[in-house]
Structure 1
Amino acid sequence: MTPIDPQHPELRRRRFRPIPVRMLVPNVITLLAICAGLTAIRLSTEGRMELAVAAIVFAAVLDGLDGRVARMIKGQSKFGAELDSLADFVNFGVAPGLILYFWQLHELNNGGWIAAMVFAISGGLRLARFNATMDDPNKPAFAVNYFTGVPAPAGAITVLLPIYLAFLGLPNPPAILTALYTLLIAFLMVSRLPVFSGKTVRMRVPPEMVLPVFVSVVFFIALLIGYPWHILSAGSVLYLASLPAGWKSYRDHARKAAAAELTPAGVAPANSPPSYPPVASEPEHDDRPTRLN
């Protein structure tokens, strides 16, 4: 054993404290999501595309749970944040790109592989930018409610839209069209497009709405199980159609913030009606008793 110098206590061997179980629960959920993503890759190589796509959707559900569970039980950790980023790269970058390649993009040979590879790399770049700008002090206050670019889970769900439509019985689109659509989603992920995140939406439910919320959730899950490709197709189309609305909302907030910064304190904006001093009048007699504070 190495003797401990009492004059240098910093040389003492550091002891690691036991890790609470609540710190492990979110990481276990993240590891289950990685298993789902890797299983999706295997299923796609075997040609079982329906199960592969279902595994990606399951990984997306787990990705939405691990962060919320960590905040609920106060199990956040830097290790968990790094593990979650690696899981997102595998599940929503590599796995969807390979699924599309084994499904149809392989018909384009090197061109299809380039499209799949660009999508996977775009997912990794999107996650790296998110981690780098998470604590940006120059970010305006209203920007907390917006993502910069399409988030990786949403990109993975929407990029598989051609496969959903094929499962519904529609004819497969040309491989070149699928490749262009894949590149479009990859571009939306790494773009500077403001996307509504919904982080500031109130999560509290009024007591009178608890039962209707339960019924709505059960009804949605039943629809997703009974008609998965209809729901995923409609959801992907609606999500892509809502992107301009998020961009417009961000522009409106940015314009208001810029106007507030340019307006000096105590000076009303130019388009506001002029204010006049109140006209002095004689006090009216008040018969109400005076309240003593």
Structure 2
Amino acid sequence: MDQVPEFEPEPRRRLAAGLSVRAFVPNAITAAALCSGLTGIRFAIAGDYPKAVQAVILAGLLDGIDGRAARLLKAQTRFGAELDSLADSISFGVAPALIVYLWTLNQIPSLGWIAALAFAICCVLRLARFNARLDMLEQPHKAAGFLTGVPAPLGAGLAFLPMYLWIVTGNPVFADPRAVSLWMVLNAFLMISSVPTLGWSRLRPPAHLRLGVIALVGLTMAALLTEPWMTLVAITLVYIALIPVGLIAYGKTKRQNAQAASGSELASD
């Protein structure tokens, strides 16, 4: 996840290059995520597409750990935020674009390459927008607990949906380069869109459902180990279904905030 910098006083112990010892751990995890994404390209060049996808998914898991490790260690820095964005642009922008291009889009070189470029460029633009807003106080989506657009790691996961289906079924219809090109472009625009999507704070289950959610997470992990590709299809479809849910929830939250603001103004009068 994106490492939002909250600058801390300089620690006493430092590495020779000027990076604090406690900042070393999250940045090392970010570097591992970058290497995993690049390794996915290597697998795709060799024609091993399942391993290529798995490498990008591993990069996504590591990306979810590095930001939490930085917050846990109180090692959030501008360096970490910049490194995280650069790693994400490669692991979730360039790598998926090249993997999908080598898999099927190369059959229509012109249109396929444009679709791959659109995905990679929009991922980079999304991350640049995120960095540009780090110091902005006024962020309506974030203040309400929502994200703006589809996050880069989830965008990569969505881009691989046709490949998941192709691996599960072996049906060449899921590898149709024209359909996959349109799917890549759609996901590209979802990443840079202003569509409010559900953030982690909005996915917190109520107290009476938490045991059930824990059981569901455990079953999902078991399913990933036994039927990984079908499980990835299911997870991806669930996330797609949550996009309109996020739009509706944001509209409701926005109306409630507007009513509360007007009520407070009336009370002050």
TM-score (norm 1): 0.78
- Could you tell me how far 1:35 is from its partner in structure 2? 0.6
- Could you tell me how far 1:261 is from its partner in structure 2? 2.8
* Partner SS for 2:135: coil
Aligned counterpart, 1:106: 106
* Structure 1 Cα separation of the partners of residues 161 and 62 of structure 2: 20
- Could you tell me how far 1:135 is from its partner in structure 2? 3.0
- Could you tell me how far 1:254 is from its partner in structure 2? 1.1
Aligned counterpart, 1:54: 54
Q: Which amino acid aligns with 2:25?
A: V
* Partner SS for 1:265: helix
- Could you tell me how far 1:17 is from its partner in structure 2? 6.4
Q: Which amino acid aligns with 2:14?
A: P
Q: Which amino acid aligns with 1:77?
A: T
Q: Which amino acid aligns with 2:119?
A: F
In the TM superposition, what are the counterparts of 1:201-220 in structure 2 within 5 Å? Answer: 213=214, 217-220=217-220
Aligned counterpart, 1:278: none
Q: Which has the higher helix share?
A: 2
Aligned counterpart, 1:256: 256
Q: Which amino acid aligns with 1:171?
A: N
In the TM superposition, what are the counterparts of 1:214-233 in structure 2 within 5 Å? Answer: 217-233=217-233
* Partner SS for 1:18: coil
Aligned counterpart, 1:244: 244
* Structure 2 Cα separation of the partners of residues 202 and 238 of structure 1: 16
* Partner SS for 1:147: strand
* Structure 2 Cα separation of the partners of residues 267 and 163 of structure 1: 58
- 1:196/1:217 CA distance change after superposition, 3 Å: closer
Q: Which amino acid aligns with 2:152?
A: A
* Partner SS for 1:42: helix
Aligned counterpart, 2:44: 44
* Structure 1 Cα separation of the partners of residues 233 and 254 of structure 2: 32
In the TM superposition, what are the counterparts of 1:28-107 in structure 2 within 5 Å? Answer: 28-107=28-107
Ranges in structure 2 where 5+ consecutive residues have no aligned partner:
1-11
Are 1:18 and 2:14 matched, yes or no?
Answer: yes
- Could you tell me how far 1:266 is from its partner in structure 2? 2.0
- Could you tell me how far 1:72 is from its partner in structure 2? 1.1
1:177 to 166, 175, 179: 179
The question of whether the paired residues in 2 share the 8 Å contact of 1:56 and 1:91 is answered with yes
- 1:93/1:24 CA distance change after superposition, 3 Å: same
- 1:257/1:193 CA distance change after superposition, 3 Å: same
The question of whether the paired residues in 2 share the 8 Å contact of 1:144 and 1:199 is answered with no
- 1:233/1:94 CA distance change after superposition, 3 Å: same
* Partner SS for 2:251: helix
Aligned counterpart, 1:196: 198
The question of whether the paired residues in 1 share the 8 Å contact of 2:37 and 2:55 is answered with yes
Are 1:266 and 2:262 matched, yes or no?
Answer: no
The question of whether the paired residues in 1 share the 8 Å contact of 2:39 and 2:55 is answered with yes
- Could you tell me how far 1:172 is from its partner in structure 2? 2.4
- Could you tell me how far 1:199 is from its partner in structure 2? 3.4
After the TM superposition, which of the residue ranges 132-141 and 234-243 deviates more from structure 2? 132-141
How high is the sequence identity, in percent, across the aligned residues? 42
* Structure 2 Cα separation of the partners of residues 102 and 142 of structure 1: 36
TM-score (norm 2): 0.85
Q: Which amino acid aligns with 1:231?
A: T
Aligned counterpart, 2:165: 165
* Structure 2 Cα separation of the partners of residues 155 and 121 of structure 1: 13
* Partner SS for 1:137: coil
* Structure 2 Cα separation of the partners of residues 141 and 55 of structure 1: 31
- Could you tell me how far 1:201 is from its partner in structure 2? 5.7
2:188 to 182, 186, 189: 186
Across the aligned residues of Structure 1 and Structure 2, the Cα RMSD in angstroms comes to 2.6
* Structure 2 Cα separation of the partners of residues 140 and 114 of structure 1: 33
- Could you tell me how far 1:142 is from its partner in structure 2? 6.3
**Greater radius of gyration (CA):** 1
- Could you tell me how far 1:148 is from its partner in structure 2? 0.7
The question of whether the paired residues in 1 share the 8 Å contact of 2:116 and 2:184 is answered with yes
* Partner SS for 2:201: coil
